[in-house]
Structure formats: C-alpha cells, structure tokens
Amino acid sequence: MRKDHRPNWLRKFQTFVNEIYIDHYVRPHLDASGIDLRVINPGYLEISGTGIKLGDHVHVMALADKPVRLAVFENLGEISIGDYGVINPGVRISSANSITIGDSCLLAMNCYLSDADWHDIHHRIYAPGNTAPIVLKDNVWIGDSALITKGVTIGENSIVGAYSVVTKDVPANSIVVGNPARVVKELPTENLTSRKALFTGDQPYHEFEEQYFSEKLADNSILGWLSSFLKPGKDV
C-alpha cells in the first residue's frame, strides 16, 4: 500500500493504543526509559536480561521478519542508549560487558553490536568468551548491516558505511567503510546537525508531527480506509 488511507483521528487512536502497550509490556522490561519512547510494532521488540536503559525520545522500528533485539547475557552486561536515538528494523545489540550509545545515534537496518566473542576459538562450549566494552559517542550513524565488535569506541559524528566490520576505534568526525573498516574521509563539522534539533528547536517535534499528519491525512475518511482493504488497487 503506497498511501496511508487512515483518517487522522484513527491514526491518533492507534497511537494511543500503542502507547498503552509500550507502557504495560515494554517499559517494565527496561531498567530505565525516558519520555516519548516510541516503538513501531512493539510486539517485535525483543528484550532479554537486565541492565537495559533507554533515554528520552528514543524511536524504535521493528518488523515481523526483522525484529529488534536488545539482549544482556545472564545479566553480566549492560546496554545504555542515550536521548534522541533511532533503532531500525533488524538491529541486534548483544552485551556481556557494556555497550554505551550516546545521544542522537542512528542505527540502520540489520546492524549488529556485540561486546563479546561468545566463545573461545578452541573451547567453544562456554559463553561469553572474551569481552570488552563498546562506546558510540554522540551523533554516530551506523550503516545498514554493519558489525561493531568488542572493544570499539566510535567518536562523535562519525559514520560507519553499510556492511562494514569495525574492529578498531574510529576517530571523531570520520567516515569508515570496509572489512575491516578504515577511514576514507574526514567529515566536515560545519553546519552539522543531529536528531536532537528535532526536539529542541523552535517548533516542538510533537507539534510538527501533528501538523504534518493533519495535512497529509486531511482528505481521508473511514470509508476510504475500509475500501483500501476490501478493494486494494494502485494508490496515488
């Protein structure tokens, strides 16, 4: 379906129900969670273990075939995600030590952060193997299907290219790509923005959002929405 046929009042009602689900079935599994936690398809957000903390305005998008997994192994590790972060479908974060993600970080689809080997090279029975903390500083962008391995620190504003494997520290304001990832460009910081600006600017994010959907869905009706299910066709 290429068009959202919902009337705006239905969108608001669905958002309200989703918030109730998050409050009753997601937040209790977290050690801490800030204001405006949003999860699209929260039934596909998998949380395992203790020591998982999310900051303010964290937005998570999960899908049936690409669930989001936040896992702490036998309560040995911890996961801390700062304010204004975005977690896309298929993201996996697995900790047996410590994974700290700063403010305004963007985790693209299918990326994987793991602070452990999960078993030794020769002795493959006992987990978690060797561990070392992972740190993502503020405003880091991890590309599609990238892998961040144990002991890595990624400096602020840096970008990790799609499918990269990061095994060593990444300096601030850098773009890295490849397997193993290497610096290919320094990132100019002039006029660099972060997702924080959405929530701290002149127009609060929720006001912008309401204005956007009020205009986009203004002409939609409940009959049109039902018709889109009964007689699906090409949307314009």
Active site residues: 119
Sign of the Cα pseudo-torsion (121, 126, 130, 131, in order): positive
| 3 state DSSP class of 32 | strand
Report the distance separating Cα 36 and Cα 32, nearest Å: 13
Strands 182-186 and 159-160: unpaired
User: Do the beta carbons of residue 101 and residue 154 sit within 8 Å?
Assistant: no
**Can you tell me which residue has the tokens 């890595």?**
152
145 closest CA partner among 95, 108, 179: 108
| 3 state DSSP class of 37 | coil
Give the CA angle between residues 81, 100, 86 to the nearest 5°. 35
Report the distance separating Cα 24 and Cα 196, nearest Å: 27
